[in-house]
């Protein structure tokens, strides 16, 4: 139920169970209404209530326990009333694990020609039919609660990497004011509203914003506005500084990143949650991630290769089909090719996180991560 004022900061939904002596990496557990989530964790993207190309049972079999959907897109289609009438988002999409919803803050940036931002909220012109919709921060949280999701992202102002410091600071301060309004809402104890740290590529603004949001006592914190066009090295530098400024007893979620080798860097900084469209989008386009770097299935040199895509992978794709067959499906435009590549990529990302968890528990993450990054990047250079 939405309404009322939160009397005190929410308790953390997260606990650290192991740390790595050679880095800031940690192994944790994130409590949700649909089960505990072991972290570090990768959350497959299900923007419209589906992970593109594969069935929910396959997503679960690959190791996923939490998915990411997008409240903004679901508000537009099919609409919150429809999803609520059909039993909430979990039942609607046939998923019994946890769900996190992004709020639409990224669309504030990416759909800049279709929206007007004011202190009260954001007026969008639908990219589907041109109709106007006005969303206050409170409206977004209300919609997420009605969807019945486990982790809610607040409406924030995300700016482009090319925006100047003044625009970054203004967006950051408005995000804080909106966060105060959303933090005051009454939300069920087993649902978790995270704060989102903005600040662009300005280190001092990132630290300031992390402190402002930490004072509001959110049960977890996301870091947004990175990997939006800036240099990857800059992404890492800002991500590291921001992670260090966030409370150690709360989950840290780095939004919208990234390549496997980058995820290993970010885990080493102390981040716990990740999402990215790369494994599914690239899979649909014939690009696969492996421990030896990326493999382009369209290349002619793979036509007669009888070995699996990744000999060290135990997924359905790698244990059942040759690289040559995957190449055939891809160049022929067969749907099965996109499905098998997507399934492998998700399995790879989820297995990467499982191995991170194991290495942190063993106290060997730092050395293993360095060797894994070098192995992947060496393969990229071939």
Dihedral-angle region of residue 32 (phi above 0 means left; psi in -120 to 50 means alpha; beta otherwise): beta
Extract the tokens encoding 17.
């169970």
Distance CA 187, CA 181 (A): 13
* 36: annotated active-site residue: no
Extract the tokens encoding 6.
């939160």
Distance CA 300, CA 310 (A): 18
Q: Which of 156, 163, 272, 275 is catalytic?
A: 275
Spacing of C-alpha 266 from chain mean position? 13
Extract the tokens encoding 287.
């690009």
Order of strands across the sheet with 192-193? Answer: 66-70, 98-102, 151-152, 192-193
Judge contact between 256 and 226, C-beta under 8 A.
Answer: yes
* 275: annotated active-site residue: yes
Give the H or E element holding residue 122.
Answer: strand 122-125
Distance CA 291, CA 294 (A): 8
Judge contact between 76 and 135, C-beta under 8 A.
Answer: no
**Cα angle value 368/371/375 (rounded, 5°):** 135
Q: Which of 102, 150, 272, 351 is catalytic?
A: 102
CB under 8 Å, gap of 24 or more: what pairs does 166-169 form? 168/198, 168/199, 168/200, 168/201, 168/202, 168/205, 169/202, 169/205
Judge contact between 350 and 60, C-beta under 8 A.
Answer: no
Task: Tell me the catalytic residues.
Answer: 102, 275
């Amino acid at each position: 139920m939405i309404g009322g004022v939160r009397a005190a900061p929410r308790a953390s939904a997260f606990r650290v169970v192991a740390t790595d002596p050679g880095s800031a990496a940690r192994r944790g557990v994130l409590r949700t209404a649909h089960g505990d989530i072991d972290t570090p964790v990768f959350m497959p993207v299900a923007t419209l209530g589906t992970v593109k190309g594969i069935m929910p049972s396959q997503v679960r079999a690959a190791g996923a326990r939490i998915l990411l959907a997008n409240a903004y897109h679901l508000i537009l289609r099919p609409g919150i009333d429809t999803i609520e009438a059909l039993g909430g988002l979990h039942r609607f999409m046939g998923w019994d694990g946890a769900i996190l919803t992004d709020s639409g803050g990224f669309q504030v940036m990416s759909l800049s020609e279709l929206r007007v931002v004011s202190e009260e909220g954001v007026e969008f012109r639908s990219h589907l039919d041109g109709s106007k919709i006005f969303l206050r921060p409170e409206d977004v949280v209300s919609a997420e609660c009605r969807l019945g999701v486990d982790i809610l992202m607040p409406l924030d102002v995300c700016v482009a990497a090319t925006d100047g410091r003044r625009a970054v600071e203004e967006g950051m301060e408005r995000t804080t004011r909106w966060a105060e309004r959303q933090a005051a809402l009454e939300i069920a104890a087993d649902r978790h509203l995270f704060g989102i740290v903005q600040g662009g590529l300005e280190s001092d603004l990132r630290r300031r914003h992390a402190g402002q949001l930490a004072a509001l006592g959110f049960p977890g914190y996301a870091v947004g506005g990175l990997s939006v066009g800036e240099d990857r090295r800059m992404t890492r530098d800002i991500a590291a500084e921001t992670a260090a400024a966030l409370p150690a007893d709360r989950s840290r979620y780095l939004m919208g990143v990234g390549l496997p080798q980058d995820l290993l860097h970010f885990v080493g900084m102390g981040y716990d949650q990740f999402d990215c469209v790369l494994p599914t989008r690239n899979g649909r386009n014939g690009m696969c991630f492996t421990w030896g770097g990326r493999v382009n299935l369209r290349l002619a040199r793979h036509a007669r290769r009888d070995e699996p895509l990744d000999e060290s992978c135990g997924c359905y794709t790698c244990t059942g089909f040759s690289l040559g067959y995957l190449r055939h499906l891809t160049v022929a435009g067969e749907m099965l090719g996109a499905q098998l590549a997507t399934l492998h990529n998700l399995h790879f990302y989820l297995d990467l996180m499982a191995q991170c968890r194991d290495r942190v528990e063993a106290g060997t993450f730092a050395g293993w991560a360095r060797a894994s990054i070098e192995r992947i990047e060496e393969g990229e250079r071939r």
